[in-house]
């Protein structure tokens, strides 16, 4: 198994690209009618919106390693050693449960109930979920939270067997992400007032 693996939702890149293209097309349309100030404002607003979306949608990720799991949320990063993680839940999003607290990930939201109509027993073969008493819809390998759960179970089991699992628990606040959001919101409010 690889030493580390980064998991994040790929569809968020598409949403960011669509918003960036629409914003820059709006700026080009202003420039085409010789309204340079409005075009510049459109570019600045597009960059500010893309910066906020980067923090909220692209930056969240889960990093699996032989020592533990790192949950990168927009404003906080949590490092949990495999020995410290008691359980993994996928009710609303992928959540790591420790004795102290539950840590949910923005990168792996739970699926809707619609996916439960398409789930078969064969979907769970080889996933490591067969030992669970109740398999929820959100545990499906087709959902973001289910894929994150399966990776966590595999990395946890392999790390404990090899003796590389850590017992650490760290929480860090992402001040840069907070600053980017505050500045971007300030820019958007300022341009709306003008």
Contact predicate 85/96, CB 8 Å? yes
Residue span of the structural domain in which 153 resides: 61-172
CA dihedral 115, 116, 117, 122 (to 10 degrees): 100
**Could you tell me if residue 145 is inside a domain?**
yes
Residues 121 and 35 occupy one common structural domain: no
Per-residue pLDDT of the chain (194 residues; tens, 9 = 90+): 557 888 888 788 899 999 999 999 999 999 999 999 999 999 999 999 999 999 998 899 999 988 889 999 999 999 998 888 888 888 888 889 898 899 988 887 766 655 555 555 555 555 555 555 455 555 566 677 777 888 888 888 888 888 888 888 899 999 999 999 999 999 999 998 87
Report the domain count for the chain.
2
For 103, the token pair is 């840590």
Contact 55, 74 (CB under 8 A): yes
108 and 28 inside one domain: no
The answer to whether residue 149 sits within a structural domain is yes
CB 90 within 8 A of CB 146: yes
Question: Are residues 164 and 180 located together in one domain of the fold?
Answer: no
| pTM reported for the whole predicted model | 0.78
Largest CA distance in the chain: 66
Residue 1 lies in a domain: no
In terms of domains, do 30 and 48 share one? yes
Scored b (16 or more CB within 10 A) or e, 65-78 reads bbbbbbbbbbbebb
Residues 70 and 165 in one domain: yes
């Amino acid at each position: 198994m690889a030493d580390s693996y980064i998991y994040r939702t790929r569809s968020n890149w598409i949403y960011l690209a669509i918003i960036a293209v629409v914003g820059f097309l709006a700026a080009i349309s202003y420039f085409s009618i010789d309204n340079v100030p409005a075009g510049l404002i459109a570019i600045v607003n597009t960059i500010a919106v893309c910066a906020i979306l980067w923090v909220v949608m692209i930056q969240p990720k889960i990093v699996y390693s032989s020592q533990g799991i790192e949950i990168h949320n927009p404003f906080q990063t949590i490092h949990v050693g495999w020995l410290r993680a008691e359980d993994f839940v996928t009710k609303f999003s992928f959540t790591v449960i420790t004795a102290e607290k539950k840590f949910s990930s923005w990168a792996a939201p739970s699926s809707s109930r619609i996916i439960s109509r398409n789930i078969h027993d064969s979907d769970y073969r080889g996933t490591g979920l067969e030992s669970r008493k109740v398999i929820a819809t959100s545990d499906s390998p087709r959902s973001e939270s289910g894929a994150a759960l399966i990776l966590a179970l595999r990395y946890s089991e392999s790390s404990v067997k090899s003796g590389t699992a850590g017992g650490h628990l760290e929480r860090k606040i992402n001040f840069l992400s907070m600053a980017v959001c505050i500045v971007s919101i300030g820019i958007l409010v300022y341009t709306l007032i003008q």
